[in-house]
Amino acid sequence: MLEAVHVPPLSLAAYATHAGDDAIEEIVRLAEPLRGARVLHVNATKFGGGVAEILPTLTALMRDAGLDAEWRIIPGDDAFYSVTKALHNGLQGAEVRLEERMRRTFEDANRHFAEAFEGDYDFVVIHDPQPAAIRRHLPQAGGRWIWRCHIDLTAANPDVWGFLRPSVEAYDAAIFTLADYVQPDLDLDTVAYIPPSIDPLSPKNATLDPHLADDVVYRFGVDPHRPLLLQVSRFDPWKDPIGVIDSYRAVKREIPEVQLALIGSMATDDPEGWKIYKDVLRYAGQDEDLLVLTNLDGVGSLEVNAFQRSSEVVIQKSLREGFGLTVSEALWKGIPVVAGRVGGIPIQLGNTGGRLVTTVDEATAACLELLRDPGLRHSLGLGGRERVRRHFLSTRNLRDYLALFNALQAGDRALVPAGIGMDGVALDHG
């Protein structure tokens, strides 16, 4: 069987403080027709990246709402993940040539995953490209199958998308973060738009004493009494860590006491990460005010929480970004964000949480503006936190999944709203 991931229990009631009683009551109402339904989430890795952070909470809250939910991962090897990283890059717009051996590697691996698939489920949610072809290799499997895309497809390489499209069209429904990500040639009955979410009670996002946060960053070499810029991301060219360093260096010419920390996790499904990490280390050089840290340095969820809370500005200078959970994480802590004007970032920031930028010069100017104006930082942080509370907490994500499950189970198009609705699941029918 596919490897099961242990998910600690969570209580919906504990989220009422942040999400509100009405939100919890709506979840209970939506979950009632689904009580006992078997749900399976499948993705590539249980550690590293946004999907692996979303699924523990989503699975546990589905269980507490009365569904029988599981989370399993595929057993990919290095050769397979090299191919799927190329797919990922191609779907985000890179020039990628899919050689025949790469196509065979992907197909053979997914056939193996399908052979390892066991059990009967009412809803199967397959996350991202890595296991996308499982459904095509199991055409007789029961239940409703949903492909969840977490990637920014606005500039998808046509050859790469053309290779993946038949696998996606084998599903009953697909979930995208934004309507802009849906390719015009996708032939699928049901498409849902559901932004990702953060867990306000997780160790990464829970309230942390400011003194403890200062102590944590001090242990890693940050002076808590001097301004700190921070980017938390995988070591990935789409996150533009080199551009972040360039912006920091320009800021430092104006504000010499500023510091920068780049924090990333090394995920098992991202072999390219080590190369980018080494490139970043070389580019950072011997600057004592520039820290490059990973989970292998002992930086876990609590430490990321501390770094975010100790920062004056969080940067997310992505060139492509499906969503970017770290934006909502920072805003939830009341920290303003300077971020790329791409993908799912603008819907998080709105006009309340920070500054959207495109170039290194724009990022530099935005950081300087915020570092020089504590009042502006405070007001943007407050506005950003409220936006996250309303739209990007785990309870809203759960509600949207339940609404989609109900619509698929009922098979009644009248139950399916059309268009993008920030306050609820939004679905289109082809």
The structure tokens 């306050």 sit at: 423
Q: What is the DSSP string of 97-161?
A: ---HHHHHHHHHHHHHHHHH--S--SEEEEESSTTTTHHHH-TT--SEEEEE--S--TT--HHHH
pLDDT tens sequence for the chain (430 residues): 899 999 999 999 999 999 999 999 999 999 999 999 999 999 999 987 899 999 999 999 999 999 999 999 999 999 999 999 999 999 999 999 999 999 999 999 999 999 999 999 999 999 999 999 999 999 999 999 999 999 999 999 999 999 999 999 999 999 999 999 999 999 998 999 999 999 999 999 999 999 999 999 999 999 999 999 999 998 999 999 999 999 999 999 999 999 999 999 877 667 788 899 999 999 999 999 999 999 889 999 999 999 999 999 999 999 999 999 999 999 999 999 999 999 999 999 988 999 999 999 999 999 999 999 999 999 999 999 999 999 999 999 999 999 999 999 998 554 443 333 334 444 443 3
Residue 268: predicted pLDDT: 66
Query: Rounded to 5 degrees, what angle do the CA atoms 70, 75, 3 make?
Result: 30
Token code pair at residue 70: 């599981």
- Map residue 422 onto helix, strand or coil: coil
CB 348 within 8 A of CB 388: yes
Those residues whose C-beta lies under 8 Å from the C-beta of residue 176, and which sit 6 or more positions away, are 149, 153, 182, 191, 192, 193, 194
**Domains of the chain from N-terminus onward:** 3-197+393-429 (3.40.50.2000), 210-391 (3.40.50.2000)
- Tell me the one-letter amino acid at 107: E
Tally of CA atoms within 13 A in the half-sphere of 297 that contains its CB: 16
pTM of the model: 0.93
Q: Which of 198, 225, 200 is nearest to 210 (CA)?
A: 225
CB 317 within 8 A of CB 339: yes
CB atoms within 10 A of CB 389: 16
